[in-house]
Amino acid sequence: MKGSTYVPREILGQGEMLAWIAGMGAVTPEAFAEREDVSAKIASGRLDDAVQRGLLKRESVLVGHASLYTVSAKGRSLARRYAQAGEYVYPNGLRTPVVSIKEVRHMIACAGVRAALERRYPGHRVIGEIELARDEREGGRRLASVEIAGAGRRRSHFPDIVIWPPGTLDDPDTPSPSRSASAPPALPVAVEVELTSKAKEELVENLRAWARCRTIEAVLYFAETRKIEEKLLDVIEELKVEEEIVVNPLSEILKPQPGFPLIDE
């Protein structure tokens, strides 16, 4: 076609991969393997190849855990340049993720959980905290975050992951013509990845706020250990919010990987 420029399929594939990783913030080989339905070894090879090309940065922060990969400036430029030709969307307006020792285990777990949820719920829009923060900032309203009151102060809290049903107002790429124009929009599900055992007072504040939140359908917790799961379930029962909040073991969604043996304790 006159005026058109041929772009190799390999470049378009790289651009689409980089756009996905940019939306995730940071990914592990295991999370990328989940998305691509390949082995972690193959996924790691593809990610490391992108590192060699200067498209990704590799962060090995915690011994005994998977490395995290983030998109470099060169990678962001490539992904943006070929988004139209590759028919994918580049997630603009996101803050740059910071990989730190304090947050690395949580970032690793969230990457794996989100990738697994994307495979489990095809057609849904599954986003992370940084994308939700951008959407709420641009929209000027709460979409799936919550205000938590406690100890004489109020604070905003963003869930780790949000699952938007197909055809919702905040998922314009998947319209649902069968839904009545007068029907209320379907609400998203908030997902929390819980790796630490919080004090009961904090759990009561958090769970009460989630139960009262009117912008979400429900909250799904994935607890790393049985102790964390039982503490959550005790507070849920005490507050009588079993219909609004569900708890599952992290092993139900996340495959065992370095640093996450997922043995009940």
**Residue 115 domain-assigned?**
no
**Residue 131 domain-assigned?**
yes
DSSP state of 251: G
Residues 120-144 have pLDDT tens digits of: 999 999 999 999 999 999 999 999 9
Residues 238-254 have pLDDT tens digits of: 999 999 999 999 999 99
Q: Domain end: 79, 95, 111, which one?
A: 95
Predicted confidence at residue 256, as pLDDT, reads: 85
What domain range includes position 6?
Answer: 1-95
Q: Are residues 87 and 131 in the same domain?
A: no
Task: Say which residue the tokens 């490539």 belong to.
Answer: 78
Q: Say yes or no to pLDDT of 183 above 70.
A: no
- What's the number of domains the chain is made of? 2
Q: Are residues 73 and 141 in the same domain?
A: no
Distance CA 134, CA 117 (A): 21
Which CATH number do you get for residue 91? 1.10.10.10
Residues 250-263 have pLDDT tens digits of: 999 998 888 888 66
* Helix ranges (DSSP H) in the chain: 9-24, 29-36, 40-52, 73-81, 83-86, 104-120, 129-139, 200-212, 226-239
Distance CA 84, CA 80 (A): 8
Which residues are registered as beta bridge partners of 150? 153
Q: Are residues 213 and 127 in the same domain?
A: yes
Residue 218: in which H helix or E strand, if any?
Answer: strand 218-223
- Torsion, Cα 105 110 113 118, to 10 degrees, reads -150
Pick the most confident of 124-138, 150-164, 180-194: 124-138
**Residue 105 domain-assigned?**
no
**Residue 201 domain-assigned?**
yes
